[in-house]
């Protein structure tokens, strides 16, 4: 008798399932148990998102691996009324899933909005992500830990843009406690000015006391004429507003007129007390824009100042200027000043070798090339070519048995990921998978990567190697995804399949649904307009913005387009890859003033993104071909003879 109440729900559940099966059989739609469970879960999840609880058949999804997703929406809908204990219990049950973090964030946000600081702190686990939640968190923490709340609140305050309304109670409390005063308000006003947020700057100015009126008058003068800071700052004198005003005005003047900015700074600097951090910030700005804009009048000051600033990014820029001028002594000397971690990069060791060779030190050049060739990059491979040695791939391979893969298949995160894929929730599936990789130890992450490889999850596999920092696991980082399609359409367009694979790997990391902020789509990131033009030239129907996402068609169109670029640049892959990324019009212009040699051409590309893109494409192509060759790079070349020895100028243009 005691067992009957426990059996009753099970009996009812079975009865409903038999009824479902009978209906499906009558319709000729008999599903497997797994398919039926997934369909029920899919329907329940859709209902939960719409808070239509009466549509959910709890018995049909009982025990499903994704049941927690429905539970998540149910509990979220009850916030902020739900007790912290319920939230914490949910987090504990789902601690190996993104659901735990999502629920914590939901609770913090809703408890904060409802003004329930005790509940918020009960479910928090330190400062949360997101500005709004951080404002709620630090406001709740003001009485419990005022020191931490003050630090966090000031960090949020020092922003040049408006913060969410959720931050207002925190900022008001910090004002009432004297933490945010006129000095802090002025600093934020300067940040808003630099960010172009005139509305916020005006609001902050109205919060200042009468003692700050001279500073506001100075700000109004300089706001319309940055160069006026040369007269305004000395008049303002040692007012606490002076350092911030000078820093913000010099930032604007440097961007607007770098030559005038340097002249202004040289007159002002000896007369001001700014502090080292502000001075260095102003001088870094001046050095950067002087180099980027190639202002000859500023060169002597830049060269005298750089050794004192000694930042890797500025020294890299200075070396690139020296390379553009083919000032080999300067290349050598500026590289020598780089921080150790920057100077040791294969790129800069390669250029050190080039400089030493040009300066008549072949032994030093060989040593620098040897150091460069230890890496796995465009310039590392170029250095290996100069030494006539194979490329150092440094590949790391891992092998797991089918029995081990079956074990991984039973891990909860894998079961959830596969179920989410089955019900067409790729975003949630990706969150589950990458969340597991990010929190896994090295061996666990490698087993997940192996499983993704075994399932042909190419995009997930690449992302797994990134999240797991598996830089030497080349077979996983560069899977031969869509290989047959690349071979087919590469042959049709007269393009090397390995080059196509390299482009797709760089462009989308094999995500066929990839969509860039600019609107490029699919595996090979084609703009809809480009896809239309290429389709027309091929004599096929325009795929439209969604049809271009279809992998086979995307590969066909991308192959044809890079084929056109290769034809345009006489088969030169460096120029063609640059055009694929930045557009042929720009590459045509760059070739008019380009250095004659391949390495100088690559380094002279003015767009950082395109410069990195060209190097990556050629490096990836070598890796793909080497992997197809059993991991052996002998006989594989980074560049063809014409690419390595030819001229990089308008003679590359096949159509002029």
Q: Average pLDDT for residues 186-211, to the nearest whole number?
A: 95
* pLDDT for the residue 457: 96
For residue 465, pLDDT over 80 is answered with yes
Q: Average pLDDT for residues 41-63, to the nearest whole number?
A: 96
Q: Is 310 helix (H, G, I), strand (E, B) or coil?
A: coil
> Binning pLDDT at 50, 70 and 90, where does residue 594 land?
confident
Residues 6+ apart with CB under 8 A from 91: 100, 103, 104, 123
For residue 159, pLDDT over 90 is answered with yes
Q: Average pLDDT for residues 267-271, to the nearest whole number?
A: 89
- C-alpha angle with apex 346: 343 to 349, nearest 5 degrees? 55
For residue 15, pLDDT over 80 is answered with no
Q: Is 160 helix (H, G, I), strand (E, B) or coil?
A: coil
Of 329, 331, 384, the closest CA to residue 360 belongs to 329
* pLDDT for the residue 552: 96
What is the tens place of the pLDDT at every residue in 521-543?
A: 999 999 999 999 999 999 999 99
* pLDDT for the residue 5: 35
Q: How far apart are CA 401 and CA 423, in angstroms?
A: 29
Q: Average pLDDT for residues 437-457, to the nearest whole number?
A: 96
* pLDDT for the residue 655: 59
For the four alpha carbons of 629, 631, 632 and 636, in that order, the dihedral sign comes to positive
Residues counted in the chain: 656
Residue 574, judged by CB atoms within 10 A of its CB (0-12, 13-18, 19+), counts as buried
Of 293, 291, 378, 280, the closest CA to residue 330 belongs to 291
Q: Average pLDDT for residues 267-290, to the nearest whole number?
A: 92
E strands, 117-231, where? Answer: none
What is the tens place of the pLDDT at every residue in 313-326?
A: 999 999 999 999 99
Of 512, 520, 517, the closest CA to residue 561 belongs to 520
Q: Cis peptide leading into 163, omega within 30 of 0?
A: no
* pLDDT for the residue 120: 98
Tokens of 395: 């590949």
Distance of alpha carbon 560 from its chain centroid, rounded? 29
Of 497, 498, 479, 478, the closest CA to residue 488 belongs to 497
Q: Is 130 helix (H, G, I), strand (E, B) or coil?
A: coil
Q: Average pLDDT for residues 540-555, to the nearest whole number?
A: 94
Q: Is 618 helix (H, G, I), strand (E, B) or coil?
A: helix
Residues 6+ apart with CB under 8 A from 202: none
* pLDDT for the residue 34: 58
First CA to last CA across the chain, in angstroms? Answer: 94
Asked if 215 and 236 count as a contact pair (C-beta separation under 8 A), the reply is yes
Q: How far apart are CA 264 and CA 656, in angstroms?
A: 46
Q: How far apart are CA 261 and CA 34, in angstroms?
A: 70
Residue listed under structure tokens 């700014």: 274
Asked if 452 and 460 count as a contact pair (C-beta separation under 8 A), the reply is yes
Residue 469, judged by CB atoms within 10 A of its CB (0-12, 13-18, 19+), counts as exposed
| Average per-residue pLDDT for the chain | 92
Q: Average pLDDT for residues 111-128, to the nearest whole number?
A: 97
* pLDDT for the residue 14: 33
Residues 6+ apart with CB under 8 A from 422: 38
For residue 648, pLDDT over 50 is answered with yes
Of 565, 568, 489, 574, the closest CA to residue 523 belongs to 489
For residue 406, pLDDT over 60 is answered with yes
* pLDDT for the residue 33: 55
Q: How far apart are CA 40 and CA 42, in angstroms?
A: 5
Give the least confident one: 32-46, 197-211, 609-623: 32-46
- C-alpha angle with apex 96: 93 to 100, nearest 5 degrees? 60
Q: How far apart are CA 253 and CA 238, in angstroms?
A: 22
For residue 336, pLDDT over 70 is answered with yes
Residues 6+ apart with CB under 8 A from 629: 635, 636
What is the tens place of the pLDDT at every residue in 231-265?
A: 999 999 899 999 999 999 999 999 999 999 999 99
DSSP string, 603-646: HH-S-HHHHHHHHHHHHHHHHHHHHHTTT--TT--SS-HHHHHS
Residue listed under structure tokens 């770098």: 258
For residue 6, pLDDT over 80 is answered with no
Q: What residues act catalytically?
A: 507
H or E stretch covering 232: helix 229-236
Residue 308 CA: distances (Å) to CA of 59, 239, 314, 395: 71, 29, 11, 40
């Amino acid at each position: 008798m005691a067992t009957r109440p426990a059996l009753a729900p099970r009996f009812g559940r079975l009865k409903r399932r038999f009824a479902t099966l009978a209906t499906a059989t009558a319709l000729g739609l008999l599903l497997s148990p797994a398919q039926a469970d997934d369909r029920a879960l899919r329907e329940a999840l859709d209902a939960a998102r719409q808070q239509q609880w009466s549509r959910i058949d709890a018995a049909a999804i009982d025990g499903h691996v994704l049941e927690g997703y429905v539970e998540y929406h149910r509990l979220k809908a009850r916030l902020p009324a739900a007790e912290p204990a319920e939230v914490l219990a949910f987090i504990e049950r789902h601690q190996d899933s993104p659901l735990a973090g999502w629920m914590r964030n939901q609770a913090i946000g809703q408890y904060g909005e409802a003004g329930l600081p005790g509940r918020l702190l009960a479910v928090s686990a330190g400062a949360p992500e997101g500005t709004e939640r951080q404002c709620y968190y630090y406001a709740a923490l003001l009485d419990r830990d005022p020191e931490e709340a003050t630090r966090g609140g000031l960090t949020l305050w020092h922003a040049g843009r408006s913060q969410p309304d959720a931050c207002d109670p925190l900022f008001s409390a910090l004002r009432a406690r004297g933490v945010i005063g006129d000095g802090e308000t002025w600093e934020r006003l300067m940040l808003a000015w630099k960010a172009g947020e005139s509305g916020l700057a005006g609001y902050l100015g109205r919060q200042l006391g009468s003692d700050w009126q001279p500073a506001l008058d100075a700000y109004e003068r300089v706001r319309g004429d940055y160069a006026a800071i040369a007269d305004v700052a000395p008049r303002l004198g040692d007012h606490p507003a002076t350092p911030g005003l000078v820093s913000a005005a010099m930032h604007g003047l440097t961007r607007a007129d770098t030559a005038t900015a340097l002249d202004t700074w040289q007159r002002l600097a000896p007369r001001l007390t700014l502090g080292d951090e502000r001075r260095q910030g102003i001088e870094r700005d001046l050095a950067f824009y002087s180099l980027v804009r190639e202002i000859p009048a500023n060169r002597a000051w830049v060269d005298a100042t750089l050794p004192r600033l000694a930042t890797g990014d500025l020294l890299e820029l200075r070396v690139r200027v020296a390379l553009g001028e083919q000032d080999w002594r300067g290349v050598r000397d500026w590289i020598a000043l780089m921080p150790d971690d920057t100077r040791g990069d294969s790129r800069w060791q390669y250029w050190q070798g080039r400089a030493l060779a040009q300066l008549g030190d072949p032994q030093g050049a060989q040593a620098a090339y040897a150091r460069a060739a230890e890496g796995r990059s465009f310039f590392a491979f170029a250095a290996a070519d100069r030494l006539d040695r194979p490329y150092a791939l440094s590949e790391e391979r891992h092998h797991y048995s089918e029995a081990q893969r079956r074990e991984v298949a039973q891990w909860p995160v894998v079961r959830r990921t596969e179920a989410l894929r089955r019900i067409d929730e790729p975003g949630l599936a990706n969150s589950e998978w990458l969340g597991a990789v990010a929190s896994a130890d090295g061996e666990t992450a490698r087993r997940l990567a192996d499983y993704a490889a075994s399932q042909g999850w190419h995009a997930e596999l690449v992302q797994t190697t990134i999240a797991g920092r598996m830089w030497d696991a080349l077979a996983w980082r560069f899977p031969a995804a869509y290989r047959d399609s690349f071979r087919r359409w590469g042959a049709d367009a007269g393009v090397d399949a390995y080059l196509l694979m390299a482009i797709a790997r760089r462009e989308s990391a094999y995500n066929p649904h990839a969509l860039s902020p600019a609107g490029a789509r699919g595996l090979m990131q084609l703009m809809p307009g480009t896809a239309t033009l290429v389709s027309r030239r091929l004599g096929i129907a325009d795929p439209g913005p969604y049809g271009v996402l279809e992998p086979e068609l995307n590969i066909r169109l991308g192959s044809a387009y890079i084929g056109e670029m290769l034809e345009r640049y006489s088969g030169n892959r460096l120029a063609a890859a640059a055009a694929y990324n930045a557009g042929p019009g720009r590459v045509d212009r760059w070739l008019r003033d380009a250095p004659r040699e391949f390495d100088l051409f690559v380094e002279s590309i003015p767009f950082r993104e395109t410069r990195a893109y060209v190097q990556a494409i050629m490096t990836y192509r070598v890796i793909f071909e080497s992997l197809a060759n059993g991991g052996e790079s002998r006989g594989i070349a980074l560049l063809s003879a014409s690419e390595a020895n030819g001229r990089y100028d308008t003679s590359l243009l096949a159509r002029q």
